[in-house]
Structure 1
Amino acid sequence: MPRLLTALLAATALTLPGVAAAEMELSFYTGVQGAFSSHVRGDAEGDDFDFLADWDGKSFEMPPHWGIRATWWRSERLGFGVEFEHTKAYATDDTMDDFKFETLEFTDGLNSLTANVFYRWPGLWADGRVTPYVGAGLGLAVPHVEVRRKGSRHETREYQVAGPSAMIAAGASYAFNENWAVFGEYKSSFNFLKTDLDGGGELKSNISTWGVNIGLSYRF
């Protein structure tokens, strides 16, 4: 997964003309994250299923929720970049009991990888230190799929490129100086998953997450 992120960062740098002259911002964040209920459809070893799943985020259980973002500000207000976010979704115990799953989770991440566009209002408040912003992005969902039906010999436990992903975000940063800033934001991701199951079959679900993030940015 780090190699994939590095490759995308490098590819984005090559495709943005004049990137060396633009302001570069690297951001790392964590926070509280959850997932909304979603329909789960598919089949496993000839057994069809279609139900509404409830999900837990468990933000601070290992591995915790986190994200990393690179933004090239092409002007005072407009920026483009890439982002990797590690969100999680665990089916609740009631969901697994009701629909005969022993394991149904994306513990090592729903893992969205997106190309983003951001718009900001520099130095709007607090003597020019507070900058509100909004952003959106499109990319891929690369979840770690962990699925096992009750009584089955087969267990899926692997990373898959599972479909498109999108995100929206809104927040504000507070600058300590020219280089360092902290930020807080609300962020949602939308993951349209179609995964393959070991032993035959597939599992599909459109899982949306919400997150309240805090982070640290370095600008140069």
Structure 2
Amino acid sequence: MRSTARLAALLCASTLIFTAAPALSEDLQFSVYGGYQTAPHSGVTTSDGTHFTAGWEGKSFASPPYYGGRATWWLQSLGEPDLGLSIDFSHAKVYAGGDTFAKTPGWTHFEFTDGLNLLTVNALYRFTEPGRAWTPYVGLGAGINIPHVEVTRPSGRTFGYQVGGATLQAQAGVSYAITDNWSVFTEYKGNYSWVNVDIDSGAKLKTNVLTNAVNVGVSYHF
């Protein structure tokens, strides 16, 4: 219940920010992207005494695929044309590889594949030059992770969405203007997520997941 309340509060706050934002900005853009996402191994601990290292696989193009979208406001009316704020959602995912189950007798399924969903609020800075079509940018942000927890082990099965905890985000990329309204971009985006979720038998599962993604996307500028 507390997790649901925190999520609702964040979404309400985000809605208020971006409802007011057009009054502060002359450049609103929406972006969608996909790409190749991976995650290195991470330690996993359960409150009932299981400890192991999960070997994660991203499987970016397997269903459901990795994808994301964001809304960005560049604060031109405040005299900061290169400073922006964004809300970013990405449908990241991780699967425990086969070697993981050799370390966890009886575990047959462990993944966050209907999403290790990431929702962040970010500050962006772009490096513009008059007359230049391409524009580098960087960004930092924070938010929450919302995993679809899938665990099958001898004591039971867990299957459903939960609010896992906090996530940090860093990104760097370059956009290329095709027209006044359309641009394309490529970027690196990394997220570090603290995942703390409920599993069967009243136990808790904790792991910290670093996702790395190389994205390609398209943006529409109002």
Normalization by structure 2: what TM-score? Answer: 0.88
What is the CA distance between 1:163 and its match in structure 2?
A: 0.4
C-alpha contact 1:8 1:82 (8 A) present in aligned 2: no
| One-letter amino acid of the structure 1 residue matched with residue 38 of structure 2 | G
Which of the numbers 188, 191, 194 marks the counterpart of 2:193?
Answer: 191
Q: Residue 127 of structure 2 aligns with which residue?
A: 121
What is the CA distance between 1:9 and its match in structure 2?
A: 5.1
What is the CA distance between 1:6 and its match in structure 2?
A: 7.5
1:52-71 aligned at under 5 Å gives the runs 52-71=53-72
Q: Residue 214 of structure 1 aligns with which residue?
A: 216
- 1:151-171 CA deviation, whole Å, 9 max, x = no partner? 33x211110011001110000
C-alpha contact 1:26 1:68 (8 A) present in aligned 2: yes
- Contiguous gaps of at least 5 residues in structure 1: none
C-alpha contact 2:39 2:211 (8 A) present in aligned 1: yes
Task: Give 4+ residue runs of structure 1 displaced > 2 Å after superposition.
Answer: 4-12, 14-19
Percent identity, please.
43
Give the 3-state SS of the residue equivalent to 2:99 in structure 1.
helix
Give the 3-state SS of the residue equivalent to 1:95 in structure 2.
helix
C-alpha contact 2:52 2:103 (8 A) present in aligned 1: no
C-alpha contact 1:130 1:175 (8 A) present in aligned 2: yes
| One-letter amino acid of the structure 2 residue matched with residue 84 of structure 1 | F
Q: Residue 89 of structure 1 aligns with which residue?
A: 94
What is the CA distance between 1:91 and its match in structure 2?
A: 0.5
Give the 3-state SS of the residue equivalent to 1:199 in structure 2.
helix
In 2: Cα distance, 1:178 partner to 1:8 partner: 31
* CA RMSD, Structure 1 to Structure 2 (Å): 2.0
In 2: Cα distance, 1:57 partner to 1:7 partner: 31
C-alpha contact 1:121 1:133 (8 A) present in aligned 2: yes
Give the 3-state SS of the residue equivalent to 1:13 in structure 2.
helix
C-alpha contact 1:12 1:82 (8 A) present in aligned 2: no
What is the CA distance between 1:16 and its match in structure 2?
A: 4.1
What is the CA distance between 1:41 and its match in structure 2?
A: 0.6
In 2: Cα distance, 1:57 partner to 1:73 partner: 32
- Contiguous gaps of at least 5 residues in structure 2: 1-7
- 1:55-108 CA deviation, whole Å, 9 max, x = no partner? 000000000000101111003210012111110110101102221221110011
Q: 1:65 to 1:96 in 2, by over 3 A?
A: same
Q: 1:23 to 1:17 in 2, by over 3 A?
A: closer
C-alpha contact 2:27 2:73 (8 A) present in aligned 1: yes
Normalization by structure 1: what TM-score? Answer: 0.89
In 1: Cα distance, 2:198 partner to 2:98 partner: 23
Report how many residues are paired: 210
| One-letter amino acid of the structure 1 residue matched with residue 101 of structure 2 | M
Give the 3-state SS of the residue equivalent to 2:16 in structure 1.
helix
1:1-220 aligned at under 5 Å gives the runs 10-14=15-19, 16=21, 18-19=23-24, 21-43=25-47, 46=48, 48-74=49-75, 75-100=80-105, 101-123=107-129, 127-149=131-153, 151-152=154-155, 154-220=156-222
- 1:5-50 CA deviation, whole Å, 9 max, x = no partner? 985652222454823x43101110000000111110113xx4x111
